[in-house]
Structure 1
Amino acid sequence: MSGGDYINLDRYPIDKQNKESFASMVEKVRRDLAKDGCAVVRGFLTDAGLKAAVAEADSVADKAHRSYNSTNIYFTQDDETLPADHPARQFYERSNAFIPADNFAPNGALRQIYDFPGFDDFIRLCLDEQEDRFFRYADPLADVIVNTAGEGNGFPWHFDTNNFTVTLALQNAEQGGAFEYAPMIRKNGENIEEVSRVLDGTSENIHTLNLEPGDLQLFRGRYSLHRVAPLSGNRPRHVAIFSYVEQEGMCGSPERTRQLYGRVLPIHLERASLRADDYVD
């Protein structure tokens, strides 16, 4: 099987940009992204594609880096020069697991989807980005990953390092796991006041999204504070993550990479200062 067998091309002809249905599809995603930085393409995978992707995730689930620690929303260390109530000094228990990208083979379902002709262009056009400001994440541990989470797991409030995050919902937990986000609150600066309101539960700017297996989500997580609610039940939640950035060659910071994947590679140290903006990581 190839990427064309995994993607629902009858419904979403991402390889035929000259079709009117392609333009309509892109325009709808753009409208949703403009509204709150999040868009969902329902049923993006075929039944066979979903089955293959779940099987692949299950086959390497034992390679996931599982961590149980305290993190702030920026994944940085405590800074005692800041006020005690600053968001960067608010730490939360995090229990989660990521299967690093180097566990997914070129001929596997997830990379076949990611490498399918037209996929990158479809994502770029939906995000309304110029070619010179749209690149695949160059991180060999993080360009194509799966977040896998089980009973009691979740992911506390955080910002993403990369500007564009594209996810495929593969398998839901039996209960919990809703995606919650405060849209675009960091678009024009750190916006510490609103960030603080989200963290203390007083913000009126929080949206809740329930994704179904096979749904494709585009999300501007660099600017929108977000979290995954805790899960319950025996079935793990699997979500594939494809990442894009605005600056060519960008990788995760060494500190964050260690937290998420349990190891760093030489490339993370070499490119530690390569960023497209000045936001706290």
Structure 2
Amino acid sequence: MRQDILKSNTTMESIVNSEIYPIHRMADPQTLQRIASARSELASVGACRFPQFLSPEGLSRCRQDAIALESQAHPSNNQYTPYYGQPDDSYPAGHPRNATVRFAVRYVSRKLISSDSPLRQLFEGDDLLTFIRDLLPGAPLYRYSDPRGSLNYTVMARNDQLGWHFDACELVASILLRPAETGGDFEYIPAVRSSEDENFPSVESILNGNDGQRIAVSFQPGDMVLFRGRHSLHRVTPVEGGTTRLMALMSFDNVEKAPLRDAPDDLLPP
């Protein structure tokens, strides 16, 4: 058992920038300070950023892994509602349930990512999950159980974009591996809806371009952003230039066994 713990810690230290984020030592004062700060940000604006979260080695390995799998990424390029569905014409024209945005992105599914890859080790190990759970006190949190959307690399090339949408899970940890030359910016509007109120008028207004309250998140390679997107609209602006934008996504939910997402086949990897 002791050897397993030492191996886990050694692996985590090689992936995560443990000098800044010693997440394998939860009692460390530095870790506790990071947790307190991030907890406040998540509560107030629904997102928090951890600069240089990956170590240089971890970033390099994840990026090379994503590049190696890029050609196998599942393509999606279509128009869907912000709720990952087909428009419902029982609603009036312009209603969010009957309005579409563009989803143009390619996904590398979890089943293609090797079990010994640094991304899977990070996602499937206990250290990151324990760390994130401490940021959301009083709420259960589990690795997202949908195999298509729990762990992915995303690939976005010239003109690819993700329109305004909500997430199906509670929280996503996003790590930038390689930025686009231009564009590919992550923007969000916090707390647009709630469990009690879909707030369709505000969603419709945002879809019509009244999005001046949007917040842009600045990413650098190796940064991790935690984002609660179930109730916050968010998007990725169109990518420009010849360099594909590569991200690693790790998803978490507040139920242990989430139902499979009822999403179009071309929107998620098989």
Task: Tell me, yes or no, whether TM beats 0.5.
Answer: yes
Q: 1:253 aligns with which of 251, 255, 261?
A: 261
User: After TM superposition, where is structure 1 displaced by more than 6 Å over at least 4 residues in a row?
Assistant: none
What's the CA shift for 1:203?
3.5
5 Å-filtered alignment, 1:114-133, equals 114-130=123-139, 133=140
Q: Which residue of 1 aligns with 2:102?
A: 93
Q: Which residue of 1 aligns with 2:190?
A: 183
Q: Which residue of 1 aligns with 2:148?
A: 141
- SS of equivalent to 1:127: coil
Q: Which residue of 1 aligns with 2:235?
A: 227
What's the CA shift for 1:179?
0.5
Deviates more, 1:62-71 or 1:223-232: 62-71
User: 2:103–2:163: 8 Å Cα contact kept in structure 1?
Assistant: yes
What's the CA shift for 1:255?
2.6
Counterpart AA for 1:219? F
Q: Which residue of 1 aligns with 2:71?
A: 62
Q: How many residues align?
A: 260
Counterpart AA for 2:253? V
User: 2:80–2:87: 8 Å Cα contact kept in structure 1?
Assistant: no
Instruction: Write the distance in 2 (CA, Å) between the matches of 1:57 and 1:92.
Output: 26
What's the CA shift for 1:36?
1.0
**Structure 2 unmatched runs, 5+:** 1-9
**Structure 1 unmatched runs, 5+:** 264-281
What's the CA shift for 1:6?
1.1
Q: Which residue of 1 aligns with 2:43?
A: 34
Residues 54, 109 of structure 1: CA spacing in aligned structure 2 closer, same or farther, 3 A cutoff?
same
Instruction: Write the distance in 2 (CA, Å) between the matches of 1:261 and 1:37.
Output: 24
What's the CA shift for 1:239?
0.8
Cα root mean square deviation, aligned: 1.5
What's the CA shift for 1:72?
1.1
Residues 164, 174 of structure 1: CA spacing in aligned structure 2 closer, same or farther, 3 A cutoff?
same
5 Å-filtered alignment, 1:1-281, equals 2-130=11-139, 133-187=140-194, 188-256=196-264, 258-263=265-270
Residues 175, 123 of structure 1: CA spacing in aligned structure 2 closer, same or farther, 3 A cutoff?
same
Residues 129, 252 of structure 1: CA spacing in aligned structure 2 closer, same or farther, 3 A cutoff?
farther
TM-score by length of 2: 0.92
What's the CA shift for 1:78?
2.0
Instruction: Write the distance in 2 (CA, Å) between the matches of 1:254 and 1:240.
Output: 23
Identity rate of aligned residues, in percent?
A: 28
Deviates more, 1:204-213 or 1:20-29: 204-213
